[in-house]
């Protein structure tokens, strides 16, 4: 059995650890609240962009898609229609550090399983990593990354991710890959997240039938083609950025949950050590009393 001093030292050490994890839990909770608010605001923007784009393409979508017509350097055929898939692009979003429970392991394990099931060799896909954990994971396994982005802020702005977002749309336009997916953990609530693989390119979630009754709402200046020239790639970029914001929110939730679990575990350890300390102290007192009584009896 450990001595009283050893138990006291362990209790003090565990209490300090508990204070640290409690503080980290509160920090993560604060970050989560901010991320949820930011994510909600962004969803309003993304929804409006999708609505406008759907309305703009309501009458021209079929014509543009069938002709492969190019306007302002944007090939609508490649942006809107599936083409034969020779290579697939994947953006894998993880955190830059640890202390987030099983957040990263869930993403990486399921991504690797998907790659092994869907592809015969590494020549069939292109990987881009957001987050140091994922980048280091793939590098350690000899997987070549087309691009990696590390050290994002807690609420990343579009400027922070502009390079990787713009680069992926350009790579798609240049046929480096023929479709693009984003692999990340979707934020469900503060206690859970869900692994998602979402198709970002080609754009396939626009339904012209949704906007048939709204065509008369729009006046175009300078022209519909010029507007679509900017809006189509912007919409694709907003989808990718939205996934990054969602993943960051899930990361904060995972960090908060992990630190709460650590704090609760530290509390349980302290309770167990306190019981052990009281028992050891009681045993020591009983031993002392026994020795005193024994000594007194010997003097009689």
**Residue 207 has what pLDDT?**
61
**Residue 76 has what pLDDT?**
53
Q: Tokens in use for 288?
A: 């002392």
Say how far apart CA 117 and CA 109 lie, in whole Å.
Answer: 12
Say how far apart CA 264 and CA 21 lie, in whole Å.
Answer: 9
| CA dihedral (168, 172, 173, 175) positive or negative | positive
CB contact at 8 A, 161 and 149 = yes
**Residue 64 has what pLDDT?**
47
Of the candidates 79, 88, 86, the residue with the CA atom closest to the CA atom of residue 237: 79
CATH of 24-67+74-258, one of 3.40.1380.10, 3.40.630.30, 3.10.20.30, 3.30.1050.10: 3.40.1380.10
**Residue 82 has what pLDDT?**
75
**Residue 148 has what pLDDT?**
92
**Angle CA 180–93–25, to nearest 5:** 155
| CA dihedral (148, 150, 154, 158) positive or negative | negative
| pLDDT, averaged in runs of 10, over the chain (300 residues) | 82 93 93 91 83 69 50 53 87 92 93 93 92 94 91 88 86 89 92 90 69 57 73 83 93 94 93 89 83 73
Query: Which three-class secondary structure state does DSSP give residue 185?
Result: strand
**Residue 108 has what pLDDT?**
95
Global pTM value: 0.83
The residue extents of the domains of the chain are: 24-67+74-258
**Residue 131 has what pLDDT?**
93
Say how far apart CA 244 and CA 179 lie, in whole Å.
Answer: 18
């Amino acid at each position: 059995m450990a001595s009283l001093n050893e138990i006291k030292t362990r209790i003090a050490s565990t209490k300090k650890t508990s204070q640290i994890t409690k503080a980290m839990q509160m920090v993560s909770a604060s970050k989560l609240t901010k991320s949820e608010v930011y994510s909600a605001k962004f969803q309003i923007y993304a929804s409006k962009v999708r609505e406008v784009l759907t309305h703009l393409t309501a009458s021209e979508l079929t014509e543009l898609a069938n002709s492969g017509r190019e306007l302002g350097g944007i090939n609508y055929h490649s942006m809107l229609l599936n083409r034969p898939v020779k290579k697939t692009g994947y953006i894998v979003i993880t955190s830059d550090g640890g202390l987030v429970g099983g957040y990263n392991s869930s993403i990486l394990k399921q991504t690797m399983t998907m790659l092994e099931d869907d592809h015969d060799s590494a020549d069939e896909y292109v990987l881009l990593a957001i987050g140091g954990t994922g980048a280091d994971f793939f590098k350690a396994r000899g997987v070549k990354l087309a691009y990696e982005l590390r050290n994002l802020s807690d609420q990343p702005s579009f400027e922070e991710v502009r390079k990787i977002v713009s680069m992926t749309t350009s790579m798609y336009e240049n046929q480096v890959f023929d479709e693009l997916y984003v692999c990340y953990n979707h934020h469900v609530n503060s206690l859970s997240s869900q692994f998602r693989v979402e198709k970002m390119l080609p754009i396939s979630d626009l339904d012209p039938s949704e906007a048939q009754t709204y065509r008369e709402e729009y006046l175009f200046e300078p022209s519909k083609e010029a507007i679509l020239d900017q809006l189509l790639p912007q919409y694709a970029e907003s989808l990718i950025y939205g996934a990054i914001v969602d993943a960051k929110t899930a990361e904060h939730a995972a960090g908060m949950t992990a630190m709460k679990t650590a704090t609760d575990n530290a509390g349980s350890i302290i309770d167990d050590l306190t019981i052990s300390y009281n028992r050891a102290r009681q045993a020591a007192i009983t031993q002392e009393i026994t020795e005193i009584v024994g000594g007194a009896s010997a003097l009689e």
